[in-house]
């Protein structure tokens, strides 16, 4: 299975897609706004820029900011990578060493909406999450009653926390890269990182898909660790008592499973061996994703969805429980 670049159709938790639609027909159809979830100090040695970008990826924008401010790109901070084929709004931090005048910064597809200051560089994963506004076009027949029922399920029960298809590259192409790296091919640092994340994401999705098929993706099982909603903190479960079951049902905690690394036992063996040789640390990721502020509006031939997710979550994990594209 891993020798092909075709991604599996991971198990769905809430039933078959209710309608077919077109996703990302235009960049404005997929909008993402980063939510820091904490206050800036209004002073300090870092400018914080809240930037709207279109047709540009996060790392490219970071390079443009570094060039303008005349600082190394490694000193530019951002909390997460945002889609290129979308309108996205996110924070960047830039050292004030050269006191840049941002009014003269003109980068195609980039607009500075806010300028603040803070005492520290913005770290990866330091944001609370993201809010999404997504327009789905060219709908097949849509019936509102089953859609409303499905929306209620997604809100009350959450969705499987799959890594999105973009994690695996265009048409799953990063799977081929992972095979090359695991087979011994030397890769540049960035591509090596893509290969590693592809392997870990694929194995996670495979395990999660099995749990969804068994209807245990949203239930604590012996051997699971618990993931605390909102913080990402993970703790062991010596015993699963009634209190933990109630907290899981209330989505205060979620079952989690391994992000494989050195010491993990999984198939295929050459992937396992490659991660071990690279000394990739094991991690944990929640099996379930809480969806907040979920709304839907149906207008003629399109649907507009709005919702918010925690950091590290993919909007497509929500969409695939509602529709196909």
Query: Cα separation of 195 and 182, whole Å?
Result: 8
266 part of a folded domain: yes
Closest to 253 (Cα-Cα) out of 262, 243, 261: 243
Nearest C-alpha neighbor of 256 from the set 215, 287, 212, 281:
287
Q: Please check whether residues 159 and 105 belong to one and the same domain.
A: no
Tell me whether residue 263 is in a domain. yes
Same-domain check for residues 153 and 266:
yes
Structure-token match 């996060």, residue found: 58
pLDDT value at 2 more than 70:
no
Q: What is the pLDDT of residue 6?
A: 83
Among positive and negative, which fits the CA dihedral 4, 7, 12, 16?
Answer: negative
- Print the domain residue range for 79: 38-126
For residue 218, what are the CA distances in angstroms to 47, 223, 264?
41, 14, 23
**pLDDT higher than threshold 80 for residue 141:** no
| Paired residues of 234 in beta bridges | 227
CA dihedral 20, 21, 24, 29 (to 10 degrees): -140
253 falls within a domain: yes
Residue 180 pLDDT greater than 60, yes or no: yes
Shared domain for 185 and 71, answered yes or no, is no
| Residue 3 confidence class, pLDDT cut points 50, 70, 90 | very low
> Above 70 in pLDDT, residue 212?
yes
Residue 255: its pLDDT value, please? 98
- Tell me how far apart the alpha carbons of residues 68 and 60 are, in angstroms, rounded to a whole number: 13
* pLDDT score for 298: 87
CATH number, domain containing residue 106: 3.30.2350.20
Q: What is the CATH number of the domain that holds 185?
A: 3.30.2340.10
Phi/psi at 52 (nearest 5 deg)? -100, 130
Cα within 13 Å of Cα(293), Cβ side = 10
pLDDT score for 199: 98
- How far apart are the C-alpha atoms of 177 and 170, rounded to whole Å? 12
Inter-residue contact 181 to 195 (CB < 8 Å) = yes
CA torsion 110-114-117-122 (nearest 10°) is -50
* Chain segment 237-295, per-residue pLDDT in tens: 989 999 999 999 999 999 999 999 999 999 999 999 999 999 999 999 999 999 999 99
Active-site hit among 47, 83, 224, 241? 83
Catalytic residue list contains 239:
no
pTM confidence score: 0.93
What is the domain count for the chain? 2
pLDDT value of residue 142: 80
- The percentage of residues in the chain with a pLDDT greater than 90, rounded to a whole number, is 91
| Cis bond before residue 268 (omega within 30° of 0) | yes
CA distance 277 to 261: 10
pLDDT at residue 120 in the model: 97
pLDDT band at 5 (very low <50, low <70, confident <90, very high): confident
**In a shared domain, residues 121 and 145:** no
Q: What is the pLDDT of residue 9?
A: 96
Question: What tens digit of pLDDT does each residue of 90-124 get?
Answer: 999 999 999 999 999 999 999 999 999 999 999 99
When the pLDDT of each residue in the chain is averaged and rounded to a whole number, the result is 95
Q: Confirm whether 1 is domain-assigned.
A: no
- In this structure, what DSSP letter does residue 311 have? T
Structure token digits, residue 180: 């090359």
Instruction: Locate all alpha helices (DSSP H) within 109-255, ordered by sequence.
Output: 144-157, 174-182, 189-213, 242-249
- Between residues 171 and 52, which one has the greater pLDDT? 52
Last residue of a domain, one of 126, 150, 167: 126
> Looking at 158-167, 298-307, 311-320, which range is the least confident one?
298-307
112 in a structural domain = yes
Residue 88 domain-assigned (yes or no): yes
pLDDT at 1 over 50: no
In sequence order, what are the beta bridge partners of 92?
Answer: 49, 78
């Amino acid at each position: 299975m891993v020798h092909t670049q075709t991604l599996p159709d991971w198990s769905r938790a809430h039933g078959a897609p209710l309608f077919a639609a077109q996703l990302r027909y235009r960049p404005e159809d997929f909008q993402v706004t980063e939510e820091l979830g904490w206050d800036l100090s209004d002073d300090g040695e870092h400018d914080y820029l809240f930037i709207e970008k279109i047709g540009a990826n996060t790392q490219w924008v970071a390079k443009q900011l570094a060039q303008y401010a005349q600082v190394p790109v490694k000193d530019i901070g951002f909390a997460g990578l945002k889609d290129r084929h979308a309108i996205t709004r996110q924070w960047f931090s830039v050292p004030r060493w050269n006191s840049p005048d941002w009014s003269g910064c003109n980068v195609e597809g980039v607009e500075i909406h806010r300028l603040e200051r803070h005492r520290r560089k913005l770290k990866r994963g330091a944001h609370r999450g993201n809010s999404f506004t997504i327009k789905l076009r060219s709908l097949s027949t849509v019936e509102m009653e089953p859609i409303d029922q499905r929306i209620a399920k997604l809100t009350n029960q959450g969705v499987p926390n799959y890594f999105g298809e973009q994690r695996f590259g265009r048409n799953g192409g990063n799977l081929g890269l992972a095979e090359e790296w695991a087979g011994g091919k030397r890769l540049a640092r960035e591509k090596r990182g893509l290969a590693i994340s592809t392997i870990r994401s694929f194995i996670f999705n495979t395990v999660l898909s099995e749990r969804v098929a068994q209807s245990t993706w949203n239930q604590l099982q012996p051997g699971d660790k618990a993931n605390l909603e909102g913080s990402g903190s993970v703790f062991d479960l010596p015993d699963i008592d009634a209190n933990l079951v109630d907290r899981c049902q209330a989505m205060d905690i979620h079952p989690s499973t391994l992000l494989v690394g050195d010491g993990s036992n999984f198939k295929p063996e050459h992937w396992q061996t490659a991660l071990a040789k690279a000394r990739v640390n094991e991690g944990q990721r929640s099996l379930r994703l809480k969806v907040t502020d979920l709304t839907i509006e149906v207008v003629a031939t399109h649907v507009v969805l709005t919702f918010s997710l925690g950091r590290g979550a993919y909007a497509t994990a929500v969409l695939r429980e509602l529709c196909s594209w």
